[in-house]
Chain A
Amino acid sequence: MKIMWTYIVAGLTIFGLMLLVGIGLRASQAGWLPIDPGTFYSLLSLHGVGMITAMAIAGLGLLWYLVDRDIQLDARLAMLAFVFFALGVLAVIVSVIFGHYGALWTMLYPLPFVGTTWPSWATGLWLIGVALVMLGFMLICAQLLGAILRQYGGLGSALGIDYVFHRKRFEAAGKHPPSPQILAATVVSIDGLIGGASGLLVGIAMIAHWLDPHVVIDPLWAKNLTYQFGHTFANLTMYMAVAGIYVALPICTKRAYHSSVPLVVACWGTLVFVIIAYFHHLYMDFVQWPAVQYIGEISSYLAAVPVVVVTVFGGLMLIHRSGMKWTLGSTFFFAGMVGWIVGGSAAILDATIPFNVDLHNTLWVPAHFHTYLLEGVLLFILGWVFVSLEQRADSSSNAFVRWIVGLGIFGGGALFLIPFYIAGAAGVPRRYATEPAPGPFWAGVATLGALLVLVGVLAALVEGIRLARAPAVRAAE
């Protein structure tokens, strides 16, 4: 429990700080806040890597706790990983604030070394900081996977292969398939180790180039590894948080969510498609081997099937006619599923190659991943926090608070996100400190939306503190 709250509070704190940075960036693009391009790209670097790290830290805390409920884990390893995260975040902050690093999280080789306006040490510190975050992430993944493999006696059992292919014999032996949250943890840890290895590989190559410029790297190789790591890491934040659905929604609905053959098969699909869908980031690199472009579109489509057919469909089946009370916790979970579907739909359109020609590296890209993270991953984490606090205090928020939080996070969220989509569809490029029309107008609208989100987040924070300080009636989930 202590590990979970340490991770979640740290993740949400970083999220809050990065939200403020993000509001400043959008206000600058609207022409409301004078930020010079150098500072803009430094802050954009911080915002991008900070937000993903925030969601990953909070999501890992949740996932670690859910696995620890079934299989006892060593808290010291989780704290060691937390030290890696803290040192990595500190290195990134120093690199940006004092070194003015500004090559963004993508740091596509050879950008961090060519035409830079910041000192070389800032690039090195950034690379080391990101590598430390990756090491922390991989340490947790290795711990979870090791514990699951020991508990279930191998990968086949942990992935439910016996259960699916020899079900009668499996059930006759009195065995049970891994729980949904254990399956989610297995997927996250395996894909996390693969994505983390890609990130470390390209990171080490770039650190080698930083130390000795004679070390040259193939730019296409570096781009593939960078996106394999970046896409997988960002995508997995969702699957960490999704584990909360399998445990919290049954509490909210007073129903059960068991592993089933469709759920197990869906996890296999997610395991494969999450790590190969990244090819859609390289559609506009025509020198890339054409077959993987086709795989990019197919795997992006197929990655959505487990979501819409199993996880979200199953979540809706739990809620449907359950008599669920619409507290903040349950509302966050439901809204998170909506955000996941909406953001995912936009991602699928972008992953459709003929449409990607019109959307690649326009504001459509941040449109869909902000939807996915802000109205998906974040809401699942907030949902878990509030279900836990509501259960502990046997109390829920009054209608006024629910409306303020809802209007801020959902209403403000829509006002923040829709301008990204409109401007992206109009071809406004992403990552422009100064955008061409109609970018600045829509950036202004988005800034107002983001301010409303901030109001909603602050209201949720105050309400969360109130619930946390209320006398404990029973143990929190």
Chain B
Amino acid sequence: MGEGPLVLKLFLVVAVVAIAAMLLVALYGARAPLPQGVVNDAGYRIRKLWLGLVLVVAAAAFVLTLPFFPYPWAQASPGARHFEVTAAQYAFVMPAVVPANVPIVFDVTSQDVNHGFGIYAPDGRLFAQVQAMPDYVNHLPIEFHKKGHYVVRCLEFCGIGHAYMHGGFDVR
């Protein structure tokens, strides 16, 4: 939640390393060509290690992110207070105030088309979101630890007024 800047840094590191590595492989020793067989012998050995590394990183990423998946949490929030949120072109009907430091659940739906219920923290970071769908109710469990005004923006294109579909609530 609110980890966008961290993801950006992670991406920049990966991108710079990838670009540098690819340039290095392409340009290193470019003026001294080798027979393809020589390059292949070394390349196939490296590729086996590379495959292992990629699979380990993919498996580790999946396992490490599992505890942060919102789905089990969304289904089991016993004792939490529920607040209804209804989206419609181009406004949200939602509570004006929600409590801080207690688990709550937003029950989010839509009266017309698909919308996105995106909650922005007082510091401007995207804090949480869930889709608002017609005919369905999405349950977004959440706990606010910072008091203040939270802005809500629509995060699914919903028509000509999409960019102006916003609201907010206070956390006290």
Q: Is B86's CB within 8 Å of the partner chain A? A: no
Q: Is B34's CB within 8 Å of the partner chain A? A: yes
Q: Closest CB-CB distance, B42 to chain A, in whole Å?
A: 9
Contact A110 B113 (CB under 8 A): yes
Contact A358 B4 (CB under 8 A): yes
Which of A110, A223, A255, A284 has most chain B Cβ within 10 Å?
A: A284
Q: Is A174's CB within 8 Å of the partner chain B? A: no
Q: Is B120's CB within 8 Å of the partner chain A? A: yes
Q: Is A104's CB within 8 Å of the partner chain B? A: yes
For the complex, count residues of A whose C-beta is within 8 A of B. 79
Residue of B nearest to A424 (CB): B4
Q: Is A102's CB within 8 Å of the partner chain B? A: yes
Contact B114 A427 (CB under 8 A): no
Q: Closest CB-CB distance, A192 to chain B, in whole Å?
A: 26
A286 contacts which of B33, B58, B140, B164 (Cβ < 8 Å)?
B140
Taking A286-B139, A316-B25, A360-B155 as contacts, is the C-beta distance between A426 and B124 under 8 angstroms?
Answer: yes
Q: Is A13's CB within 8 Å of the partner chain B? A: no
Q: Is A341's CB within 8 Å of the partner chain B? A: yes
Which of B36, B128, B139 has most chain A Cβ within 10 Å?
A: B36
Residue of B nearest to A290 (CB): B71
Q: Closest CB-CB distance, B51 to chain A, in whole Å?
A: 5
Contact B30 A111 (CB under 8 A): no
B58 contacts which of A41, A223, A301 (Cβ < 8 Å)?
A301
Q: Is B171's CB within 8 Å of the partner chain A? A: no
Residue of B nearest to A434 (CB): B163
For the complex, count residues of B whose C-beta is within 8 A of A. 77
Which of B4, B36, B51, B125 has most chain A Cβ within 10 Å?
A: B4
Taking A323-B33, A345-B18 as contacts, is the C-beta distance between A308 and B54 under 8 angstroms?
Answer: yes
CA distance A427 to B6 in the complex (A): 12
**Which of chain A's residues have a CB closer than 8 A to the CB of B154?**
429
Taking A301-B61, A427-B120 as contacts, is the C-beta distance between A320 and B26 under 8 angstroms?
Answer: yes
Contact B125 A427 (CB under 8 A): yes
Q: Closest CB-CB distance, A325 to chain B, in whole Å?
A: 10
**Which of chain B's residues have a CB closer than 8 A to the CB of A349?**
7, 10-11
Contact B138 A286 (CB under 8 A): yes
Q: Is B22's CB within 8 Å of the partner chain A? A: yes
Which of the candidate stretches A53-61, A114-122, A134-142, A377-385 sits at the interface with the other chain? A114-122
Which label, helix, strand, loop or mixed, suits the secondary structure of the B interface?
A: mixed
CA distance A286 to B58 in the complex (A): 24
Q: Return the CB mask of B1-28 against A: 1 if under 8 Å, else 0.
A: 1111101101100110011001001101
Residue of A nearest to B158 (CB): A111
Q: Is B85's CB within 8 Å of the partner chain A? A: no
Contact B164 A421 (CB under 8 A): no
Contact B156 A425 (CB under 8 A): no
Q: Is A317's CB within 8 Å of the partner chain B? A: yes
**Which of chain B's residues have a CB closer than 8 A to the CB of A285?**
130-131, 133, 136, 138
**Which of chain A's residues have a CB closer than 8 A to the CB of B22?**
312, 316, 334, 337-338, 341
Contact B133 A342 (CB under 8 A): no
**Which of chain A's residues have a CB closer than 8 A to the CB of B4?**
358-359, 362, 364, 424-427
Taking A114-B113, A425-B4 as contacts, is the C-beta distance between A104 and B157 under 8 angstroms?
Answer: yes
B163 contacts which of A308, A319, A338, A433 (Cβ < 8 Å)?
A433
Contact A360 B11 (CB under 8 A): no
Q: Return the CB mask of B134-152 against A: 1 if under 8 Å, else 0.
A: 1111111000000000000
**Which of chain A's residues have a CB closer than 8 A to the CB of B50?**
308-309, 313
**Which of chain B's residues have a CB closer than 8 A to the CB of A320?**
25-26, 28-29, 39, 43
Taking A321-B33, A345-B15, A358-B3 as contacts, is the C-beta distance between A290 and B72 under 8 angstroms?
Answer: yes
Residue of B nearest to A324 (CB): B30
Contact B134 A110 (CB under 8 A): yes
Taking A290-B72, A320-B39, A426-B4 as contacts, is the C-beta distance between A435 and B163 under 8 angstroms?
Answer: yes
CA distance A302 to B70 in the complex (A): 22
CB contact list, A326-371 vs B, under 8 A: 334, 337-338, 341-342, 345-346, 349, 352-355, 357-362, 364
**Which of chain B's residues have a CB closer than 8 A to the CB of A305?**
51, 54-55, 58
Q: Closest CB-CB distance, B24 to chain A, in whole Å?
A: 10
Which of B72, B125, B162 has most chain A Cβ within 10 Å?
A: B162
A316 contacts which of B26, B69, B118 (Cβ < 8 Å)?
B26
Contact A286 B130 (CB under 8 A): yes
**Which of chain A's residues have a CB closer than 8 A to the CB of B128?**
357
Residue of B nearest to A112 (CB): B113
CA distance A114 to B160 in the complex (A): 11
CA distance A346 to B31 in the complex (A): 33
Taking A38-B160, A305-B55 as contacts, is the C-beta distance between A429 and B153 under 8 angstroms?
Answer: yes
A432 contacts which of B39, B130, B162 (Cβ < 8 Å)?
B162
CA distance A434 to B32 in the complex (A): 54
Q: Closest CB-CB distance, A364 to chain B, in whole Å?
A: 8
CB contact list, A237-264 vs B, under 8 A: 255-256, 262
Contact A361 B120 (CB under 8 A): no
9 additional contacts (CB under 8 A) given A313-B43, A317-B43:
A41-B157, A114-B113, A223-B114, A349-B7, A354-B68, A358-B7, A361-B129, A364-B7, A425-B8
Query: Residues of B with Cβ closer than 8 Å to A?
Result: 1-5, 7-8, 10-11, 14-15, 18-19, 22, 25-26, 28-34, 36, 39-40, 43, 47, 50-51, 54-55, 58, 61-62, 65, 68-72, 74-75, 89, 112-114, 116, 118, 120, 124-126, 128-131, 133-140, 153-164
**Subset of 6 A-B contacts with CB under 8 Å:** A41-B160, A219-B134, A285-B131, A320-B39, A358-B4, A364-B7
